[in-house]
Amino acid sequence: MDVVKAAGVVLWRERRKSGDGVEIALVHRAKYDDWSFPKGKLEIGERHREAALREAFEETGMKVLLGQRLPTQHYLVRDRVKRVRYWSATRLTGRFVPNREVDELCWLPAAEARAKLSYEHDRALVDALLEQLGA
């Protein structure tokens, strides 16, 4: 079976209001009306880390610093297996501006982000990030 290779990030920051815990960025794709993490398919000759950085910038307008690897996700999309390698990431520069792929970005406390995600496989990434951060 043909595998679609993709890469993405779970973008996080320290909570601004309470200073306790983290906030996680979710993106809304109007085309699919879903909430997920910045991610996308690898371009020809592109490495996974490069794709993760590119997709983060394209979908959020932010240059990010990749942290540790998070679990790779596998799921079916139109009868093809999609394999997405994820990294934790923090913002270096830039700000979100709505674009053709993503019309909204929100920062939420981890529990709220977990509840808002459209796909169950994405929820495991929140748990893995929190475990990685010792939160």
This prediction has a pTM of 0.93
Q: What pLDDT was estimated at residue 129?
A: 97
What separation, in Å, do the N-terminal and C-terminal C-alpha atoms of the chain show?
38
Q: What pLDDT was estimated at residue 77?
A: 82
Q: What pLDDT was estimated at residue 76?
A: 86
Q: Which two tokens stand for residue 109?
A: 């406390």
Cα 42 to Cα 5, 6, 50, 109: the distances in Å are: 6, 5, 9, 29
Q: What pLDDT was estimated at residue 79?
A: 84
Collect the ranges in the chain with pLDDT lower than 50.
Answer: none
C-alpha 11/C-alpha 135 separation (Å) is: 15
Domains of the chain: 3-133 (3.90.79.10)
Q: What pLDDT was estimated at residue 18?
A: 62
